[in-house]
């Protein structure tokens, strides 16, 4: 048996927030989502640690908001 003395700290969780209608947490969440919907994220391909941009791009959009994509990701082409 190890003769050492160990004192393990008590676990500490992050605060649990309520997202009910009318709460400040919900208002902040809705504002953040509205801001994120105005942006389109471009996702490159990664080979190893190198990010590659392709001419072939695929739009990623939910069916409810098809004109505005959430993200655009690069499609790899087979080697010629």
Assess if residue 66 is contained within a domain. yes
Can you give the pTM of this predicted structure?
0.56
pLDDT in tens for each of the 80 residues of the chain?
677 878 888 889 988 898 999 999 999 999 998 998 888 889 999 988 999 888 899 988 888 777 778 899 988 877 76
Cα 33-34-40 angle, rounded to 5 deg: 85
Assess if residue 15 is contained within a domain. no
Assess if residue 59 is contained within a domain. yes
On whether the CB atoms of residues 61 and 69 are closer than 8 A, the answer is yes
Provide the domain count of the chain. 1
Strand bridging mode 50-52 / 57-60? unpaired
Q: Which domain holds residue 64?
A: 40-80
Assess if residue 19 is contained within a domain. no
């Amino acid at each position: 048996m190890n003769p050492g003395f160990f004192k393990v700290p008590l676990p500490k969780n992050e605060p649990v927030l309520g997202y009910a209608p009318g709460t400040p947490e919900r208002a902040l969440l809705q504002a953040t989502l509205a801001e994120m919907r105005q942006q389109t994220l471009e996702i490159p391909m990664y080979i190893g640690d190198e990010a590659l941009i392709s001419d072939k791009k695929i739009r990623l959009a939910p069916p409810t908001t098809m004109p505005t994509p959430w993200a655009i990701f690069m499609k790899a082409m087979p080697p010629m």
